[in-house]
């Protein structure tokens, strides 16, 4: 444990730095809360334009004094801790995939009336079934395939399509 003094000094230094930057975050939050109070009307609605004007008016003015050094609101914002999306309220993204559009995109002839009849039959079956759309589409195709293979609906070249 020869380096015990170094560990203690580093711990104190890192703690000081964390507290130093945390104070800017707290000051910034306090100023933003004041801006919301200024922009809130009697009915509780916040006017974002008024809030922004308040913050803009403080941008280059000293708002915080630490050990004799004055910091403007701009400097406070630059020195505050950056919060990730999870701490700022997050983000939620939903991607909805349409199996009908995927099948149409993969098919050789999406305007084929027979192909569209399979799509329609799968849609009807989907109303009363818990199965996924692709399986229902395949079942509709299989029920009235007239001896064709499923591959014929999705042939890449015309030559292959003619062989189906």
Question: Which of 5, 58, 68 minimizes the C-alpha distance to 27?
Answer: 58
Q: Mean pLDDT over residues 116-144, rounded?
A: 84
Q: Which structural domain range is residue 25 located in?
A: 4-88
**Claim to verify: residue 113 and residue 154 sit in the same structural domain:** yes
In a domain, 94, yes or no: no
**Residue 98 backbone phi and psi in degrees, to 5:** -100, 110
Domain boundary among 88, 110, 132: 88
Note the pLDDT of residue 70.
Answer: 83
**Claim to verify: residue 76 and residue 24 sit in the same structural domain:** yes
CB 80 within 8 A of CB 72: no
At 157, the pLDDT band (50, 70, 90 cuts) reads very low
Count of structural domains within the chain: 2
In a domain, 80, yes or no: yes
Domain boundary among 61, 88, 115: 88
Statement: residue 154 has pLDDT above 70? no
Q: What is the pLDDT of residues 47-106, one digit of tens each?
A: 888 888 888 887 888 888 888 888 888 888 887 877 666 666 667 788 888 888 888 888
Report the alpha-carbon distance of residue 151 to residue 34 in Å, rounded.
Answer: 66
| Helix residue ranges per DSSP H, the chain | 4-39, 48-58, 73-79, 85-88, 99-106, 113-128, 133-143, 158-163
At 42, the pLDDT band (50, 70, 90 cuts) reads confident
**Claim to verify: residue 17 and residue 83 sit in the same structural domain:** yes
State pTM to two decimals. 0.45
Note the pLDDT of residue 161.
Answer: 45
């Amino acid at each position: 444990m020869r380096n015990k003094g170094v560990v203690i000094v580093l711990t104190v230094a890192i703690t000081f730095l964390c507290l130093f930057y945390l104070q800017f975050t707290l000051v910034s939050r306090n100023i933003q809360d004041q801006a919301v109070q200024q922009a809130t009307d009697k009915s509780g609605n916040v006017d974002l334009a008024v809030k922004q004007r308040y913050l803009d008016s403080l941008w280059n003015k000293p708002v915080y004094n630490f050990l004799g050094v004055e910091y403007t609101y701009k400097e406070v914002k630059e020195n505050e801790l950056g919060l990730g999306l999870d701490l700022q309220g997050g983000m939620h993204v939903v991607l909805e995939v349409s199996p009908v559009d995927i099948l149409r995109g993969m098919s050789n002839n999406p305007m084929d009336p027979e192909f569209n009849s399979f799509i329609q039959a799968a849609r009807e079956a989907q109303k009363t079934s818990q199965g996924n759309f692709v399986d229902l589409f395949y079942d509709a195709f299989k029920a009235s395939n007239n001896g064709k293979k499923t591959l014929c609906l999705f042939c890449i070249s015309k030559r292959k399509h003619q062989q189906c």
